[in-house]
């Protein structure tokens, strides 16, 4: 990798826009509008969880082999094709397909968002950050993605409210099924158009001076992919990084429960519950910028451990059952702790690739391998959360969900400690 990579602001801006737009249809809509999503698609929490699992199974293998793809071809092309393909799936989603087709659609999303996109985005971000600004690069990426997600969520809530207020029903607590479905269809369609638009922008304008990427592509194009995977697997630090990502991602999946918790435990209506989910998304850009800048000056692994501690404290408070509709302040403090902790972890877990001594030419392969294990919560978290929330109705189901998050937080803290011990420091 070149020692001094020229900084192009438009490149990181496009990475930010693309990095969040790609997940808007499969995840952001379901996170912000979870009660509405369940109602309009006639799903239980468990059935939605199965859709996420189908996505996760396809994504697992897409992470592994998509990583080697990112070491061969231009990130600009891969990301653009991924965005345009994902937007097509959004138009299918807007037709409110039956449960079987919805599961197939989520498998399709697993391919377009991961195999074509994920490792290409991470590799491009790592190169943009150069030798000494990995924290800033990934901080800007995730913080910027958070701002895009929050803006998208807020815009979606405003659109949803606007379409509802233009129906015959005035009282949002007494919406008909048809009113919900019509309003939500419009939100999905606009989201799909947005994703396609970002894909076109990436194709036309993400032409950075990235000779390093192209050189790596040529040098590695004819290497056997399995040999590269085996080479990366010999690095013991990669295994601890897998566990760090896995436990942190469990925490991130738990944030899907915030809006439903607000509705079922804190007794908000659907629109206000969606606003809670959107409010938390606005923490991501703030956390991203602050953590990204600090991480390049301090030890990122210490900040990672602090993120796990916040995740443990916030989830533990919600798991105790003391948070209810009469304790609004405690509710917000608890979910803020979880959100800040989880967003901190997301920013930094790929920023420590340099400390794992991963060559830039193997970035895509390393990211794919780590993601293959680290993002398995996409497979198991949806069904587990669905069973807990459906079988233990009310507050108890939510308590069990957050208890699980606290336990994984403890494991993640330990993995970070072990990763830190294994770093080869100059003598």
Does this model's pTM top 0.75? no
Residues composing the chain: 427
pLDDT of residue 215: 38
| Domain-located, residue 292 | yes
Cα dihedral across residues 410, 407, 153, 325: positive or negative: negative
Provide the domain limits for residue 170.
Answer: 9-421
Query: pLDDT at residue 105 above 70?
Result: yes
- Using DSSP's 3-state secondary structure scheme, residue 44 falls into coil
Nearest-angstrom CA–CA distance, 264 and 269: 9
Query: Which residues, in sequence order, are CB contacts of 359 under 8 Å at separation 6+?
Result: none
Burial 8-28 (b: 16+ CB within 10 A, else e): eeebbebbbbbbbbbbbbbbb
- Using DSSP's 3-state secondary structure scheme, residue 216 falls into helix
pLDDT digits (tens, 9 = 90+) for 257-270: 887 888 887 887 77
Burial group, residue 141, by CB count within 10 angstroms (0-12, 13-18, 19+)? buried
Q: Please give the tally of structural domains in the chain.
A: 1
User: Which stretches does DSSP call E strand in 240-322?
Assistant: none
pLDDT of residue 209: 53
| Domain-located, residue 4 | no
How would residue 156 be classed by pLDDT, with cut points 50, 70 and 90? confident
Poorest-pLDDT segment among 1-5, 252-256, 281-285, 415-419: 1-5
Closest by CA to 311, choosing from 282, 287, 279, is 287
Query: Which residues, in sequence order, are CB contacts of 234 under 8 Å at separation 6+?
Result: none
| Domain-located, residue 298 | yes
How would residue 135 be classed by pLDDT, with cut points 50, 70 and 90? low
Q: Token pair for residue 173?
A: 């607590």
| Domain-located, residue 40 | yes
pLDDT digits (tens, 9 = 90+) for 200-250: 999 888 775 543 444 344 444 444 467 777 788 888 889 999 999 999 999
Nearest-angstrom CA–CA distance, 337 and 314: 5
Closest by CA to 412, choosing from 329, 364, 348, 326, is 348
pLDDT of residue 29: 86
Percent of the chain with pLDDT over 90: 28
pLDDT of residue 402: 92
| Domain-located, residue 2 | no
| Domain-located, residue 427 | no
User: Which CATH number covers residue 77?
Assistant: 1.20.1250.20
Poorest-pLDDT segment among 58-72, 158-172, 271-285: 158-172
């Amino acid at each position: 990798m070149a020692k001094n990579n020229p900084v192009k602001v438009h490149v990181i801006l496009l990475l930010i826009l693309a990095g969040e737009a790609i997940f808007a249809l499969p995840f952001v809509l379901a996170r912000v509008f979870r009660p509405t999503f369940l109602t309009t698609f006639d799903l239980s929490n468990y059935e939605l969880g199965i859709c996420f699992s189908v996505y996760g199974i396809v994504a697992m293998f897409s992470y592994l082999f998509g990583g080697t793809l990112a070491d061969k071809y231009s990130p600009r092309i891969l990301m653009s094709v991924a965005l345009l393909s994902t937007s097509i799936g959004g138009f299918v989603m807007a037709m409110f397909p039956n449960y079987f087709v919805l599961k197939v659609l989520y498998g399709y999303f697993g391919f377009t968002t991961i195999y074509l996109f994920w490792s290409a985005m991470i590799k491009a971000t790592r190169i943009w950050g150069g030798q000494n600004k990995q924290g800033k690069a990934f901080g800007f990426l995730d913080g910027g993605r958070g701002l895009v997600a929050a803006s998208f969520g807020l815009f979606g809530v405003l659109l949803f409210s606007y379409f509802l207020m233009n129906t015959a029903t005035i009282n949002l607590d007494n919406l008909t099924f048809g009113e919900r479905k019509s309003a939500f269809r419009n939100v999905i369609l606009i989201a799909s158009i947005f994703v396609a638009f970002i894909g076109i922008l990436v194709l036309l304008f993400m032409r950075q001076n990235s000779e390093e990427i192209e050189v790596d592509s040529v040098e590695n194009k004819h290497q056997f992919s399995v040999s590269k995977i085996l080479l990366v697997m010999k690095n013991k630090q990669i295994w601890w990084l897998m566990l760090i990502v896995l436990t942190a991602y469990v925490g991130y999946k738990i944030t899907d429960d915030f809006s439903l918790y607000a509705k079922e435990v804190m007794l908000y209506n659907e629109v206000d519950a969606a606003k809670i989910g959107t409010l938390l998304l606005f923490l991501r850009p703030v956390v991203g910028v602050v953590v990204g800048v600090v991480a390049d000056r301090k030890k990122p692994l210490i900040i990672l451990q602090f993120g796990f501690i916040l995740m443990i404290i916030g989830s533990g408070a919600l798991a105790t059952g003391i948070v209810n509709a009469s304790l609004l302040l405690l509710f917000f403090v608890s979910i803020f702790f979880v959100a800040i902790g989880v967003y901190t972890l997301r920013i930094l877990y790929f920023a420590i690739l340099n400390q794992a001594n991963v060559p830039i030419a193997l970035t895509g392969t390393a990211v794919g391998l780590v993601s293959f294990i680290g993002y398995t919560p996409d497979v198991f978290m949806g069904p587990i959360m669905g069973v807990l929330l459906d079988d233990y109705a009310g507050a108890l189901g939510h308590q069990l969900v957050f208890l699980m998050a606290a336990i994984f937080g403890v494991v993640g803290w330990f993995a970070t400690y072990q990763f830190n011990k294994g770093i080869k420091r100059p003598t």
